Amino acid sequence: MFAANDILQLTQAGVEKYKSKFAVDDEFLVSKVIQETDEYSEYFIITNLSLMKRKKEPQKPLALTRNPAHKYFKQSLDEDGCALFYLYDALSRLSDEQLKSEHPKWLKKRDIRWSLMTPFQSDKAVLEYLLGQSGRAIAQHAIDLNVNEKAIRRPLNYYISFGFRKNALLPIDYAKIGSKGLRDGMKKTGPKPKNSPELATRMTQPDDILKVQRLALRNCVDKKDGKFCLKHLHTLFLKEYCSTKRIVKRGNETHFELVIDVSKRINAQQFNRLFNKAFDSKQQQVLKIGKSAYQNNRKDKTGNAAEGIERAGQLCESDSTELTVYVAYPLNIEKREAVGKVYICIVVCVKTQLVMGYSLNFGAPQWMSVAEALINCVQNKQVYAEQYNVQLDDGDWPCQHFPEELRVDNGGENTPTQFMSVLNDELGISCVDYCPPARGAAKGTVENILRIIQSFISNVTGSVEKGRDAGLPHPSQRAIFQIDDIHRFIIRAISIHNSMHARDRLLTVEMATDDVTPTPSAMWSHLMNDEFLGRPKISQKRLPELMYSLMPKQVATVARTEVKLNGLGYHSKWAEAQGWFTKAVGGHFKVDVISFGGSVDVIYFKDELGELQPLTLKDEYESFIGMTAQQAQFRLDEIKSHRKVLEYKKENALVNFEHEIEQVQEYRLKNDFKDAPPNTQKTIQSGIAERKAIMIEDEQRQKAEKQKALMQLKDAEQTTQYTDLNDDDYEGVY
């Protein structure tokens, strides 16, 4: 399935169809997908990038419905078999404020072009234009404005060709295409054999009911989300009563691993029957959802979040929450210390309920939390998991794609307008839907998945237990898992959810016909391998560019001696070689920079070749080395406060200094020079050199007398010391 910003190439049928218009090796861009309405069908707007590069005059794009689009075009892939996508020129992503200061003429031309094509900017008007139904309307509009029709058609073609963006009307070159490649093969998971020996179970025993009661009551704690997980209780039952240890060798290391003993195993259905015998219906409800939820949250829930969604990744939801486990402090192994809890941000596909990506941060949810989760969506999950010593199969986490549409809440991490423009303009995420405040059910899919992820770690050592006994140690006192361990647990939890959680109600007729396993990963793979609905994986070679696009940009000022950012100064030989500081002599100018991890030590500028050039902190700011942006700002505020106090004191001293000058002047005029008339001669006085020689002699005489007085004072002090000696002090002198 094609999406906005995809790069395409012609199929063999497309070569025959458009041989009179396009070259065989031309590259094409999906500038927009116009969704189906009651008035028109779904259309793919496709523009010829190679032709736009060869010819200055923009051509009218194609408007094709789904079947012709997939018949004549296919995804352009790199050597790894991953899909290529288009990123617009950096100049076309400048804000109006930047254009006003850096390119005012461009801004004026853009706004003039925009005003000329105002009646033809809606999706319906664009389709009518592309289908040849707006000729008379454009001609009449040109007559009314007293302009040539080309003045309307030319900007309209640019606007349609490059993503329906206002900045597409800027007079710049857009033809920058990514590299090509091939697609990785994908392994499709199949159904488990029904008669496998691994599925064997034993008969339940009467004492199993008592074991279930004890296990349930021992682990029945009020979680933060108010839920009690019966599946997790079954896992604990298998771990405690049905498992044995075995020795395994991994590389050169030997480990102990738990293995379920088939002769002791009971399956989930047997455990559920035991649970039903151990507790009546009311007790079960209180155990599962909590007492308050049992009393207050008994309304039926209707509706389907995936209604109208037909593709994997078409609509996704993102949300953040705080995990319920305290993380250990890794820099002090002499004592168990906690560093607090971490926040998790995930992106979930509504159609398949597959977790596409996640991020963990100690800080509260912010812009970078969502950005890191989106970057994780397109990362190769097997390579990513290896850095945390987790081995994944192809089908455990098969996502390497961007969401097409994103639904978020109005949290602080989703508010920056620049971030929203990046999602829309650069990444092709066409819709960012904000849910109303206090309406978590509006994005119930991601809320439910977050509860599932939380349930995996809700009982680990260091987790928070609501309503715990006050006599027990606080969970922060028992923190032993470090942040890498939490990453490992989250990756495991996501892979288990993606590949093992049954979601039968999400199966379509086609999935059921193809005997697709009702797990998120299997359904995702099925849809992504579909001829019309599927999409290839995104190339990993574009990750650095993606990361730079998602990074929050900061505006630095290039001055005569340094690059200034937030009160700090930076320098690099590269910037000096580029003539930045020489150029700043004629006036300061602005550049966009980024920083990694909030550190102030180094900032980075992206040059014309797309490489990041580091700018390091200057030596005079070495006291800020190792600080985060928040810490540096706090220190700068302190310095500013101290400077204000000193300025206030200095102002008082300067006032008194001026007052003293006036007093001395008044004294001299009234006393020493009261009988001396003022000098009116305009040339230099005569005899200054002779008078200066006399003053030098007098000055030397006064200095000699002062030095002699000081020497006599010193001799007097030494004489006093000798006078104070006792008789005993003279013994042994002669």
| pLDDT for the residue 227 | 55
pLDDT for the residue 724: 58
Q: pLDDT digit string (tens) for 596-605?
A: 767 788 888 8
Q: At what angle do helices 543-550 and 367-378 cross, to 10 degrees?
A: 160
d(CA 603, CA 601): 7
What would the pLDDT profile of 543-568 be if each residue is shown by its tens digit?
Answer: 777 777 777 778 899 998 899 998 89
State the angle between helix axes of 150-161 and 135-145 in degrees (0 to 180), rounded to the nearest 10: 120
Yes or no: say if 443 and 214 are a contact pair by the CB < 8 Å rule.
Answer: no
3-state secondary structure at position 494: helix
For residue 279, give both structure tokens.
């507790």
Q: How far is CA 453 from the centre of its chain?
A: 21
Q: Mean pLDDT across the stretch 513-527?
A: 89
pLDDT in tens, 316-332: 888 888 888 888 888 87
pLDDT digits (tens, 9 = 90+) for 654-694: 888 888 888 888 888 888 888 888 888 888 888 889 888 99
Q: CA-CA distance, 731 to 734, in Å (whole number)?
A: 8
- Answer yes or no: is pLDDT of 180 > 60: no
pLDDT at residue 354 in the model: 92
Q: What pLDDT score does 641 carry?
A: 86
d(CA 617, CA 567): 11
What is the average per-residue pLDDT within 401-430?
A: 71
Whether the per-residue pLDDT at 225 is higher than 70: the answer is no
Relative to beta strand 28-34, strand 612-617 is unpaired
Region at 110 (left for phi over 0; alpha for psi -120 to 50; beta for the rest): alpha
Contact 149, 139 (CB under 8 A): yes
Q: Which two tokens stand for residue 370?
A: 């969502």
- Do residues 370 and 395 touch, judged by C-beta distance below 8 A? no
pLDDT band at 219 (very low <50, low <70, confident <90, very high): confident
What pLDDT band is residue 182 in, cutting at 50, 70 and 90? very low
Q: How confident is the model at residue 347 (pLDDT cuts 50, 70, 90)?
A: very high
Minimal CA–CA distance to 522: which of 549, 503, 550? 503
Pairing mode of beta strands 73-75, 243-250: unpaired
Residue 644 in this model has a pLDDT that exceeds 60: yes
pTM higher than the cut 0.85: no
**Residue 358: predicted pLDDT:** 93
Are the C-beta atoms of 164 and 114 separated by less than 8 Å? no
Flag the least confident range among 340-354, 435-449, 460-474, 675-689. 435-449
Instruction: Determine the pLDDT at residue 243.
Output: 86
CA trace torsion 38, 39, 41, 45 (10° rounding): -130
Q: What one-character-per-residue DSSP string does 423-450 give?
A: IIIIS---EEEEPPTT-GGGGHHHHHHH
Q: List 603's β-bridge partners, or say none.
A: 615
pLDDT confidence of residue 596: 74
Q: Per-residue confidence at 46, pLDDT binned at 50, 70, 90?
A: very high
Query: Residues near 680 by Cβ (< 8 Å), separated by ≥ 6?
Result: none
Each residue's pLDDT tens digit, 249-292: 777 777 778 888 888 888 888 888 888 888 887 777 777 666 66
The vertex-225 CA angle with 410 and 466, nearest 5°, equals 125
Contact between residue 151 and residue 138 where contact means Cβ atoms under 8 Å apart? no
Q: Which CA distances in Å does 97 have to 125, 489, 566?
A: 30, 45, 19
- Residue-wise DSSP of 339-381: EEEEEEEEEEETTT--EEEEEEESSPS-HHHHHHHHHHHHS-H
Q: What is the C-alpha to C-alpha distance for residues 324 and 291, in angstroms, rounded to an integer?
A: 20
Residue 196 reports pLDDT greater than 70:
no
How far is it, in rounded angstroms, from Cα 391 to Cα 387? 10
Question: Which pLDDT band, with edges at 50, 70 and 90, does 220 fall under?
Answer: low
Min mean pLDDT across 226-230, 231-235, 276-280, 365-369 is at 226-230
> Concatenated DSSP letters for 305-341?
TTTT--STTSEEEEEEEEEEEEEEPTT-TTS--EEEE
Report for 14-28, 243-257, 428-442, 596-610: range of highest mean pLDDT: 14-28
Give me the mean pLDDT over the 311-316 stretch. 86
The encoded tokens of residue 129 equal: 């234009």
Rounded-to-integer distance, Cα 704 and Cα 322, Å: 79
CA-CA distance, 101 to 367, in Å (whole number)? 26
Pull the structure tokens for residue 668: 């001299």
- Of the pLDDT bands very low, low, confident and very high (cuts 50, 70, 90), residue 467 is low
pLDDT for res 175 = 40
d(CA 319, CA 315): 14
Q: Is the dihedral of CA 656, 658, 661, 666 positive or negative?
A: negative
- Cα 461 off chain centre by: 29
Query: For residue 253, what are its two tokens?
Result: 């290391």
Distance separating alpha carbons of residues 681 and 702, to the nearest angstrom? 33
Q: One-letter amino acid identity for 308? A: G
Instruction: Examine the pLDDT at 293 and tell me if it is beyond 90.
Output: no
Q: What is the pLDDT of residue 719?
A: 62
Which tokens is 510 given?
């086609």
Report the pLDDT averaged over residues 138-150: 88
Query: Measuring CA to CA, how many Å separate 79 from each of 408, 415, 538?
Result: 34, 37, 12
Instruction: Tell me the three-class secondary structure of 27-80, residue by residue.
Output: CEEEEEEECCCCCCCCEEEEEEHHHHHHCCCCCCCEEECHHHHHHHEEECEECC
Contact predicate 445/433, CB 8 Å? no
The β-bridge relationship of strands 73-75 and 62-64 is unpaired
Neighbours of 388 (CB within 10 A): 15
- Calculate mean pLDDT across residues 46-66: 84
User: How many Cα atoms sit within 13 Å of 493 on the Cβ side?
Assistant: 21
Query: Helix (H, G, I), strand (E, B), or coil: what is residue 231?
Result: helix
Three-state secondary-structure class, residue 421? helix
Question: What is the model's pLDDT at position 178?
Answer: 36
pLDDT at 280: 80
* Residue 46 · residue 8 · CB < 8 Å: yes
Mean pLDDT for all residues in the chain:
81
pLDDT computed for residue 72 by the predictor? 92
Statement: residue 183 has pLDDT above 80: no
Residue 715: per-residue pLDDT: 67
CA distance 547 to 82: 18
SS3 392: coil
User: Is residue 195's pLDDT more than 60?
Assistant: no
Helix (H, G, I), strand (E, B) or coil at 584: helix
What are the residues whose beta carbons fall under 8 Å from the beta carbon of 69, sequence distance 6 or more?
A: 2, 44, 46
CA 3 to CA 311: how far, in whole Å? 11
Provide the pairing of β-strand 589-593 with 554-558: antiparallel
Domains and CATH numbers, the chain: 7-169 (no CATH), 200-296 (no CATH), 315-537 (3.30.420.10), 553-630 (no CATH)
Among 321, 317, 322, which Cα is nearest to 306's?
A: 317
